[in-house]
Amino acid sequence: MTETKIRTRFAPSPTGYLHVGGLRTALYNYLFAKGNGGSFILRLEDTDQTRIVEGATDSLLNALEWAGIEPDESPRKPGKYGPYVQSERLSIYKKYVDQLINEKKAYYCFSTSEELEESRQLQLKQGLQPKYNRKWLPEDMGGSMLRSEVQKRLDAGEPCVVRMKVPEKRRLRLDDVIRNIVWFEAETIDDQVLLKSDGFPTYHLASVVDDHLMEISHVIRGEEWLSSTPKHLLLYEFFGWEPPVFAHLPLLLNPDRSKLSKRQGDVAVEDYQAKGYSKESLVNFVALLGWNEGEGVEQEKYSMDELIEKFKLERVGKSGAVFNIEKLNWLEKEYIKATDNRILLQKIKPLLETALAEKETEMDRSTISSDDYLLAMIELMKERVNFVSEFVSFGSYFFFDPASYEESAVQKRWKENTPDLLSEFLSVLNDTEFKVDPLEEALKAFAQEKEVKNAALIHPIRLAVSGVSFGPSLYHMLEVIGKETCLRRIEKAIKTITVPTA
């Protein structure tokens, strides 16, 4: 028995950005292909000329590449990437449409959109389900329209479309990997347009023809396609082709459980990219929306390689999944904690350069730009940040003197005796080596001598040095930032902060 080669595809239309739902669809197709020694291809469905958005193709390609989902083959010249493009294949579709017409499985239709609308309204008024009425069905297909009449109109160049002739009484059976058996009655299916009056195919025709010609073995797509699948099944039958295996994925939902949409938050991959999410966390997160390993496996973090190894189409669920950002945030944080400091360093450098270019700093630029300094800062901050960008924003005091002091912290921590206490402690600090242990010893000894709690020094010093009430261990922070800067900041704080009046 010969195994059919696994081939999957992702077939977006270039109408904008890559939707996170699209990302998941692409990912599942990719994972399934890779995990089964198959190929994954990319196909641009640009058959609606009116909806094409300039730059959309590039943004789609970039997002996919960023996520690490790369197609295996390309119709372009060797060495150059590029997806299959439907608008470049019009003659192919035309050929197959002609075949269907010759075989009386499709027919020309000259109805105008006004007529169509009128007919729809009429049927609605009669309480009927609006359906296309086959006024152009030729006599040799069971209609009353003369072939010669059709030909005459065609010759006159009258605009027309081609519709498929859906059989009267038929039950169509879909065997879906995820949804099992689904039955459809042919009478509920309209005579779908296959070729539009501008000569472009509709999605239905183009995708069936392409999936066949490109030898796609598994069509893995969103559930929104489920109800048009019987049309596709019929087309495979018309052509005498073996249909691919279908798998209709559950939808991604808004928190209110409607289909995930703009309006209720970000839906574009590039939005998440811009917000600073890493590809690892986004891919990981989206993979878990509808798929899991099962059988008591408690793993939450998966690398792309692990996903390829473990992904099983059969383990994809049936019900829609809410795109819950909180878990994504948690994953992002997990990834930062698990990332090597040197890799984080590379991610932070460009961000820091931008920040330094925009702002004056009283610190030594060569020091704060040095790898050693940044690595030390990363070590202190990595389990406190939510995004890589926060190393620079929340950790700004590693690079800039505080421009202001957190109001509530001043209220709470800056007491009447604080300025005097700090002034005195300053000279102690001046004689202290700026290392964690000596700093801690010095502070505790001083507090004891002055008969104050450690906290009476710790909190004000943190405030003076960082400007905020939260952050890493004080002693570690002081050590990294260094004596010169710390002393300068404490002096400045003593002069600047006014004791709050109770």
Partner RNA sequence: GGCCCCAUCGACUAGUGGUUAGGUCAUCACCCUUUCAAGGUGGAAGCACGGGUUCGAAUCCCGUUGGGGUCACCA
445 interacts with RNA by CB under 7 A: no
Helix (H) or strand (E) holding 164: strand 161-164
Burial per residue of 379-393, b for 16 or more beta-carbon CB atoms within 10 angstroms, e otherwise: ebbbebbebbebbbe
Interface with RNA (CB under 7 A), residue from 168, 326, 358, 372: 326
Identify which of residues 240 and 294 has a Cβ nearer to RNA in the complex: 294
Helices and strands: H and E segment counts in the chain: 21, 12
262 is catalytic: yes
Q: Residue 188 in contact with residue 182, Cβ under 8 Å? A: no
Considering the rule CB under 7 A, would residue 322 count as an interface residue with RNA? Answer: yes
Using the rule CB under 7 A, give the single segment among 137-145, 257-265, 269-277, 395-403 that binds RNA: 257-265
CA proximity to 429, closest of 419, 440, 420: 440
Q: Which span (11-19, 71-79, 137-145, 147-155) binds RNA, by CB under 7 A?
A: 11-19
Tell which positions 395-424 bind RNA, by CB under 7 A. Answer: none
Q: With contacts defined by CB under 7 A, how many residues of the chain interact with RNA? A: 86
Compute the least distance from the CB of residue 238 to RNA, in Å: 18
Q: Which stretch binds RNA (CB under 7 A): 54-62, 91-99, 188-196, 208-216?
A: 188-196
| b/e sequence 465-500, b meaning 16+ C-beta within 10 Å | bbbbeebbebbbbbbbbbeebbbbbbeebbeebeee
Distances, alpha carbon 52 to alpha carbons 129, 267, 276, 450, in Å: 32, 19, 28, 74
Report the alpha-carbon distance of residue 203 to residue 238 in Å, rounded.
Answer: 17
Q: Which of residues 446-485 bind RNA (CB under 7 A)?
A: 454-455, 458-459, 462, 469-476
* Piece of the chain touching RNA by CB under 7 A; list 94-102, 224-232, 364-372, 484-492: 224-232
Q: What is the spatial distance between Cα 90 and Cα 110, in angstroms, rounded to a whole number?
A: 21
135 interacts with RNA by CB under 7 A = no
Tell me: does residue 320 bind RNA (CB under 7 A). yes
Q: Which is nearer to RNA, 273 or 469 (CB)?
A: 469
Residues 52-111 that bind RNA (CB under 7 A): 111
Q: Interacting stretch for RNA, rule CB under 7 A, among 30-38, 65-73, 286-294, 368-376?
A: 286-294
Contact 212, 20 (CB under 8 A): no
Rounded to whole angstroms, the Cα distance separating 161 from 245 reads 29
CA 271/CA 277 separation, integer angstroms: 9
| Cα dihedral 236, 239, 242, 244 sign | negative
**CA nearest neighbour of 54 among 82, 86, 83, 16:** 16
Shorter beta-carbon distance to RNA: residue 130 or 419: 130
> Which of 54, 183, 340, 430: binder of RNA (CB under 7 A)?
183
Out of 104, 262, 318, 444, pick the active-site residue: 262
Residue 22 binding RNA, by CB under 7 A: no
Question: 123 or 369, CB closer to RNA?
Answer: 123
Cβ at position 317, least distance to RNA in Å: 5
Please pick, from the candidates 37, 79, 157, 294, the single residue that binds RNA as defined by CB under 7 A: 294
**Per rule CB under 7 A, is residue 289 in the interface with RNA?**
yes
CB contact at 8 A, 5 and 41: no
Annotated active-site positions, please?
262
